[in-house]
Chain A
Amino acid sequence: MIAYNETWLANIRVQNILKKELSRGSITEDEFSAILAKYPVLFYSPAFFVRIGLFILTCVIVLFADGLLSLVFMSTGLIEASGWPIFLGLLSYASLEFIIATKNHFRSGVDDALLFLAALQLTVGVAILLYGGAENYLALSIIVFPLCLFFTIRFSDMLMAAFCCCAFFSTVFFGLEKIGSLGLNVMPFVLMAVSAGAYWLLLKYKNQARLVNYANCLVVAQTVCLLTLYAAGNYYIVQTLSDQLNGTSKPIAFGMIFWAWTMILPLVYLAFGIKNKDAIRLRTCLFLIAAAVLTFRTYYHLLPVDVMLILGGAAILAIAYAITKYLKMPRYGFTLEDGDDVDLMDNLRVESLIVAQTFSQPTTAHPQEGVKFGGGDFGGGGSSANF
């Protein structure tokens, strides 16, 4: 079912677990290397930057090869046919299978690029073939969903899993839209029910032994489900969509339910994130809390922006300070010490680059222009872009 060598995939899991045991000091270096030799991984999966380089170059090759083919067949009129992009997509797919089968590439950048391009070309091709390029989002979603599902199952790719989930929800969305006004009225509730149901199913089946190769995909899918669950009931989104689809601008029915949903759900996620010590949930809910604040701010202007920014910033700093004080010693299994996943971040000094980007606005390059308060390095522009 899965394109990659399953023994090696299992060995990767063994190695990862033992790496943790090694860093915890439970096993010795010698034992570790002996076990590595016993459970080898012969995939070609190079380091992060090699992967990026190979991804870019593979895209270049595929694009120019497709260009060359199109040029060769231009005179025959074949490329005008709607099947041409499908043909190119199948070509990419075939090379993907070939590379994996013969060269043992696994997350090397080459397979990532080929998979992405194949999915893109096939989607475009089928869409043109069936609908002549007319805007028909329902049909597009219906095409993308099984396609991405197949790619997810075959290659256990996280991006494809995310696309697959999105296509599934957009199928539901555009399907309801087709039904008419009844569909529009129940849309938020149906989407809530569907995403909650999908999440529940994923949760139920995620520990099954036969899904062991799809752990990352399931995490991505769960995250998309949680985000959809929130978005389906977010007041701003519901209001905007109902205005757009109905062509009216009256306040929506059941407003209180949506307000409660907007405000309370992020806190529920937060509680579960803390309880289950789940980094992805935790980060998702931090993001959603910001979304809730922004939604509230869109409708109720209790405070001017500047005061709100200052109060919000001070509150966040206070919370963060309280957490650092509280976690001076690790408590309840939480710690402020370095985790396992800091290597890459540290390598790139990501944080310092972000600081430079947000606190050094290009507008400050011309202090002599005499804009009102232009001389400083205040992140005024930066904050509005990020807030």
Chain B
Amino acid sequence: MNEAFYKNLHAEGLLSDESFGKITPPRPPADFSVQWEVRGLLYTGVLLLTGGLGLLVYENIDTIGHKIVLVCIAAIFVACFAYCYKTSLPFSPQKVKAPNTYSDYVLLLGSVSLVSFIGYWQYQYHIFGTSYGLATFIPMLVLFFIAYYFDHLGILSMAIANLAIWMGVSVTPKALLLQNDYDSGTIINIYIVLAVLLIIAAFLSQHYNFKKHFKFTYLHYGVHVGYIALLAGYFHYYDNFLAAIYLAALVLLSGLVYIDAIKNKSFYFLLLMTIYSYIALSSLVIRVLFQVGDIGAVYLVLLYFIGSAVGLIFLLISFNKKLKAL
């Protein structure tokens, strides 16, 4: 903005003499932040390096010798953890800032190689025998420990994914969408247990003020998994009385998320709550209307969607106003 504009503001009395003096002389522009570029580079580097190592081991597994591979992987993660342990700030239940830009990625490299180390060891030497549960349980515990000790949200997400793997399901958004393994009632219920665990973890983090900033990650996964599992349960038992229970649980979850979102002013969770509840409500309405079963029902369904979406727009706008007013 040019000088004349500031002069104008000054003349109108909107800028004090002091501020005007600070603004008008030509100053060097603010420093250009390359933080995200560097982070992107570090992330790509870790991704390529671990991927390349994995492939190298995979292709030469018969020639390298298992002990050498294990020692190499161990050397990597020991070095990474030693570095992080040395440089990181002391543990605190609050948020701890990383000592520098790249330490997060050193830790990531260490954790990924540690997990592969355990996996490789188990594959080759069966350290956990045939108790595969243990083989996924140990890495999960280690990852949770690392996430809490060094305060790393990415590794917390990895730990949550490992928790899901240990329970026999997958939790990353892509897998949730692509692997339609919602066919059996057992798996659906495992997902629900997982969601309950995650949501409880979220509330405990906040209530005891222990790594409070981890709450978002727990709640994010918990809410998504919970809603998707409840909806899947509803459709799985569509003609069964159990469907009503899943629907009731969904209403309960919505209430819970709503209260928490209002309390913490999080529009993200309000949006999730609205959209998932809308899906449930719409499926119910369609179910009822299709009992009618002629062309009139189609008209009614179309009218319902137009009307309800308009209503939801006003609802979202009023939610937004409500959150701002708090």
A306-B52 in contact (CB<8A): yes
Residues of B within 8 A of A54 (CB): 313, 316-317
Check A373/B36 contact, CB under 8 A, given A306-B52, A316-B45: no
Check A17/B1 contact, CB under 8 A, given A57-B312, A367-B135, A375-B122: yes
B61 touches which one: A60, A352, A372, A378 (CB < 8 A)? A372
A376 touches which one: B28, B29, B120 (CB < 8 A)? B120
Tell whether B169 is near chain A: CB-to-CB under 8 Å: yes
Minimum CB–CB distance from B24 to chain A (whole Å) comes to 10
A317-B136 in contact (CB<8A): no
B179-A362 in contact (CB<8A): yes
Q: Whole-angstrom distance between the alpha carbons of A340 and B171 in the complex?
A: 32
A309 touches which one: B49, B158, B298, B320 (CB < 8 A)? B49
Residues of B within 8 A of A324 (CB): 38, 100-102
Q: Whole-angstrom distance between the alpha carbons of A126 and B40 in the complex?
A: 42
Q: Whole-angstrom distance between the alpha carbons of A50 and B317 in the complex?
A: 7
Which residues A234-283 have CB closer than 8 A to chain B?
Answer: 277, 279, 282-283
B154-A376 in contact (CB<8A): no
Residues of A within 8 A of B52 (CB): 305-313, 383
A348-B298 in contact (CB<8A): no
Residue of A nearest to B41 (CB): A320
Check A306/B55 contact, CB under 8 A, given A68-B302, A383-B48: yes
Tell whether B54 is near chain A: CB-to-CB under 8 Å: yes
Tell whether B19 is near chain A: CB-to-CB under 8 Å: yes
Check A14/B1 contact, CB under 8 A, given A324-B102, A376-B54, A383-B47: yes
**Count of chain B residues with a beta carbon within 8 Å of a chain A beta carbon:** 103
Binds B, one of A28-36, A177-185, A199-207, A218-226: A28-36
Residues of A within 8 A of B132 (CB): 367-368
Q: Whole-angstrom distance between the alpha carbons of A61 and B256 in the complex?
A: 28
Interface mask (B33-60 → A, CB under 8 Å = 1, otherwise 0)? 1111111111111111111111111110
Minimum CB–CB distance from B190 to chain A (whole Å) comes to 12
Minimum CB–CB distance from A156 to chain B (whole Å) comes to 20
B33-A338 in contact (CB<8A): yes
Minimum CB–CB distance from A286 to chain B (whole Å) comes to 7
Tell whether B153 is near chain A: CB-to-CB under 8 Å: yes
Residues of A within 8 A of B178 (CB): 362
Residues of A within 8 A of B101 (CB): 324, 336
Check A321/B115 contact, CB under 8 A, given A316-B45, A349-B153: no
Interface mask (A25-63 → B, CB under 8 Å = 1, otherwise 0)? 011100100110010000000110110111011101100
Which residues A307-362 have CB closer than 8 A to chain B?
Answer: 307-317, 319-321, 323-324, 327, 330, 333-340, 342, 345, 347-349, 351-360, 362
Which residues B145-185 have CB closer than 8 A to chain A?
Answer: 153-158, 160-162, 164-165, 168-175, 178-179
Residue of B nearest to A314 (CB): B49
Tell whether A377 is near chain B: CB-to-CB under 8 Å: yes
Tell whether B208 is near chain A: CB-to-CB under 8 Å: no
18 A-B pairs with C-beta separation under 8 A:
A28-B19, A49-B267, A49-B268, A49-B271, A53-B312, A53-B316, A64-B309, A65-B306, A110-B313, A312-B52, A315-B45, A324-B101, A353-B220, A355-B43, A360-B162, A373-B58, A379-B47, A383-B54
Query: Taking beta carbons and an 8 Å cutoff, which residues of B are in contact with A?
Result: 1, 5, 9, 12, 14-16, 19, 22-23, 28-59, 61, 100-102, 105, 108, 112, 115-120, 122-123, 132, 135-136, 139, 153-158, 160-162, 164-165, 168-175, 178-179, 216-217, 220, 267-268, 271, 274-275, 298-299, 302-303, 305-306, 309-310, 312-313, 316-317, 320
Query: Taking beta carbons and an 8 Å cutoff, which residues of A are in contact with B?
Result: 13-14, 17, 20-21, 24, 26-28, 31, 34-35, 38, 46-47, 49-50, 52-54, 56-58, 60-61, 64-65, 67-68, 71, 110, 277, 279, 282-283, 286, 304-317, 319-321, 323-324, 327, 330, 333-340, 342, 345, 347-349, 351-360, 362, 364-365, 367-368, 370, 372-380, 382-384, 386-387
